[in-house]
Structure 1
Amino acid sequence: MTASDSSVTTARQAAAAAADKLAHDIVGLDVSERMALADIFLIASAESERQVNAIVDGIEAALASHDRRPVRREGRSGGRWVLLDYSDIIIHVQHEEDRVFYALERLWKDCPVVDLELGDDPSAKKAVPSAGTDAENDAQPAEQA
């Protein structure tokens, strides 16, 4: 048994909303074979408590536009680890320090990863040279002067 199509769709919508609010290390885990209560755990990190809350707001707004509302929300006041329970998916937005400490991915390492279709490769972003580098300036034809 794998996660339902509707759960995967919801997870992708939530992941896109989290990415729009600059969440990083966004991972979806198919926990449907290990847990009867949910199909997917979605985990995202943020650098500050303020950003955790902004990501949560973005996710809730995005899913509300698809008539989805959490049945339970925990941790909002602290802003370190917020859990949004949508029954079929459970979303964890964690401060990056808490994510390293609690290591949810390690606890659920035997569960398959869900393709969230975010289409971003962080290593590719680092490889893109910034505009106006010396190498680009040296490549300019001399007659432009």
Structure 2
Amino acid sequence: MTATERSIQLAKIAALAAEDKIAEKVVAIDVSDHLPLTDVFVLASAASERQVGAIVDEVEDRLRDHRVKPVRREGEREGRWVLIDFGDIIVHVQHEEEREYYALERLWKDCPEIDLSGVDVPGGPASDADTTAENDSATDETDGDERARA
């Protein structure tokens, strides 16, 4: 069994959100063959407790935009290792020291890593291309108004 396409897309959305908050060493691991409860672990590191919190908030916000809510969130009070369980994926945001000490990648080394390059987020907020097209047409309308006034 391998991770579902939906799980992979959610993992990519979570990874992109983490990277937007300057997370380090963001990886996604397909654990579906070893765990019946979830398909993918997303791992991300942060340099401080405050950054851990910012990454966690951004991941939750971004997945909420895609109508995915967390089932559970653990470790928030300490801010050193926060686990967010979304059912199909589990996101681990760890302080750099915890990431090094617990070495989850080593624990799950037999599981395949998911390629996070070329993140494509269907059905999400407007893409940059859409926004650029809207801005271009707004500029054209403004130019026309200014020419009419001249």
TM-score (norm 2): 0.78
Partner of 2:40: 40
Runs of 5+ in structure 1 lacking a partner? 120-145
Flag the structure with higher helix content. Answer: 2
1:51 aligns with 2:71: no
Maintained 8 Å contact 1:46/1:94 = yes
2:17 alignment partner, SS class? helix
**How many angstroms does 1:99 deviate by?**
0.4
Q: Percent identity?
A: 58
The Cα offsets for residues 9-43 of structure 1, whole Å up to 9 and x where unpaired, read as 00000000000000010010000001100000000
1:99 alignment partner, SS class? helix
Judged with a 3 Å threshold, the aligned counterparts in structure 2 of structure 1 residues 118 and 27 are, in CA distance, closer, same or farther, namely farther
Which stretches of structure 1, 4 residues or more, deviate above 6 A after TM superposition? none
TM-score (norm 1): 0.80
The Cα offsets for residues 67-122 of structure 1, whole Å up to 9 and x where unpaired, read as 01100000111110000000110000000000000000000000000011268xxx
1:16 alignment partner, SS class? helix
1:108 aligns with 2:108: yes
Partner of 1:31: 31
Judged with a 3 Å threshold, the aligned counterparts in structure 2 of structure 1 residues 118 and 54 are, in CA distance, closer, same or farther, namely farther
Partner of 2:64: 64
Maintained 8 Å contact 1:41/1:92 = yes
Partner of 2:18: 18
- Structure 2 CA distance for aligned equivalents of residues 116 and 2 of structure 1: 16
Amino acid at match of 2:86: Y
Runs of 5+ in structure 2 lacking a partner? 120-150
- Structure 2 CA distance for aligned equivalents of residues 118 and 106 of structure 1: 25
Judged with a 3 Å threshold, the aligned counterparts in structure 2 of structure 1 residues 71 and 103 are, in CA distance, closer, same or farther, namely same
- Structure 2 CA distance for aligned equivalents of residues 117 and 97 of structure 1: 26
Maintained 8 Å contact 1:21/1:54 = yes
Query: CA RMSD, aligned part only?
Result: 1.0
